Amino acid sequence: MLEIKPRNIANAQITVPGSKSYTHRILIASGLSDGLCTIENALKSEDTLLTLGALKHLGVKTDVNDNNITIHGTKGILSPCDTPVYLGNSGTSVRLLTAVAALGKGTYTLTGTERMAERPIQDLLDALRQMGVSACSVNNNGCPPLEITGGEIKGGKVGLKCKISSQYLSALLLIAPYTREGLEITVTEGPVSKPYIDMTVDVMKQLNVELARDGYNFFNIPGKQVYKAGSYLVESDCSNAGYFWAAAAVTGGTVKVRGISRDSRQGDVRLTEVFETMGCKVVQEKDGLVVSGGKLSATEVDMADMPDMVPTLAVVAAFAEGTTVIKNVAHLKAKESDRLTSVATELSKMGIQATCTDTGLIIRGGNPHGAEIDTYNDHRIAMCFAVAGLSVPGVFIRDEKCVEKSFPNFWEVFEELKN
Ligand X SMILES: C=C(OP(=O)(O)O)C(=O)O
Ligand Y SMILES: O=C(O)C1=C[C@@H](OP(=O)(O)O)[C@@H](O)[C@H](O)C1
Residue 104 binds ligand Y, judged by CB under 6 A: no
**Per-position DSSP letters for 281-292, written without gaps between them:** EEEEETTEEEEE
Q: What is the dihedral of CA 341, 166, 155, 48, to 10 degrees?
A: -90
- The catalytic residue among 47, 123, 237, 308 is 308
Residues 330-359 that bind ligand Y (CB under 6 A): 331
- Determine if residue 166 is labeled as part of a ligand binding site: yes
* Residue 217 beta carbon to ligand X: minimum distance, rounded to whole angstroms: 22
Residue 113 vs 217, nearer CB to ligand X: 113
Residues 74-103 that bind ligand X (CB under 6 A): 89-92
| Nearest one of 140, 144, 160 to 50, comparing CA atoms | 144
Residue 197 vs 290, nearer CB to ligand X: 197
Residue 25 binds ligand X, judged by CB under 6 A: no
Residue 21 binds ligand Y, judged by CB under 6 A: yes
Q: Is residue 119 within 8 Å of 142, Cβ to Cβ?
A: no
Residue 46 binds ligand X, judged by CB under 6 A: no
**Residue 86 vs residues 52, 93, 144: alpha-carbon distances, Å:** 11, 10, 11
Q: From the list ligand Y, ligand X, none, which binds 178 (C-beta under 5 to 8 Å, kind-based)?
A: none
Q: Is omega for the bond preceding 6 within 30 degrees of 0, making it cis?
A: no
CA–CA separation, 52 and 47 (whole Å): 9
Chain mean position to CA 371: 27
Helix 195-206 with 20-31: angle, nearest 10 deg:
40
Residue 166 binds ligand Y, judged by CB under 6 A: yes
**Per-position DSSP letters for 158-204, written without gaps between them:** EEEE-SS-THHHHHHHHHGGGSSS-EEEEEEE--SSTHHHHHHHHHH
Residue 335 binds ligand X, judged by CB under 6 A: yes
Residue 308 binds ligand X, judged by CB under 6 A: yes
308 counts as catalytic = yes
Residue ranges of the binding site for phosphoenolpyruvate = 20, 91, 119, 167, 339, 380, 405
Residue ranges of the binding site = 20-21, 25, 91, 119, 165-167, 193, 308, 335, 339, 380, 405
Active site positions, annotated? 308
Question: Which residues of this chain interact with ligand X, rule CB under 6 A?
Answer: 47, 89-92, 308, 335-336, 380, 406
Question: Which residues of this chain interact with ligand Y, rule CB under 6 A?
Answer: 21, 24, 91-92, 165-167, 170, 192-193, 196, 307-308, 331
